[in-house]
Amino acid sequence: MRAAGARIAANIEQVIEGKHNAVRLGLTVLLAEGHLLIEDVPGVGKTKFAKALARSIDCSVRRVQFTPDLLPSDI
| Exposure b/e, 10-20, CB count within 10 A at least 16 = b | eebeebbeebe
pTM for this prediction: 0.73
What pLDDT is recorded for position 41?
A: 93
What pLDDT is recorded for position 73?
A: 84
Q: What is the mean pLDDT of residues 22-36?
A: 89
Question: With 90 as the cut, is the pLDDT of residue 42 above it?
Answer: yes
Question: With 80 as the cut, is the pLDDT of residue 70 above it?
Answer: yes
% the chain with pLDDT above 70: 100
